[in-house]
Amino acid sequence: MKQTEYNNLQELVSFNIKYFRYVNKISQEKLAELANLSPEYISSIERELHSLTIDKLELIAKGLKIDPYQLLKIQDVDKNILMKINKGRQYNQKM
């Protein structure tokens, strides 16, 4: 299943960060720790309040254990994970 309705690249990258967090079952706080960024920054990226620099995109990808290009492409998404993302904050809480 593809999630193909994105208005811009920032929206796509924000979705992909959240999607890969859910795939890896990690919180925003844990991703921030792994990427050496603040939890507030991760949250603001996922909510599309800030744009990423290439350096930070690479740090986040490394924290997610994926190649950076994966954050820039439309993914074939798991419908169960997509439902969890749409339901709420399951992996936004500390783990």
Query: What are 51-62's pLDDT values in tens digits?
Result: 999 999 999 999
Write the DSSP assignment of 11-79 as a string of letters: HHHHHHHHHHHHHHT--HHHHHHHHTS-HHHHHHHHTTSSPPPHHHHHHHHHHHTS-GGGGGS--B--H
User: What are residue 62's DSSP bridge partners?
Assistant: none
Rounded to whole angstroms, the Cα distance separating 50 from 43 reads: 9
User: What pTM, to 2 d.p., does this model score?
Assistant: 0.83
Question: What are the residue boundaries of the structural domains of the chain, listed by start?
Answer: 9-86
CATH number for the domain running over 9-86: 1.10.260.40
Token reading at 9: 């690249």
> pLDDT, tens digit, for every residue of 75-86?
888 888 888 887
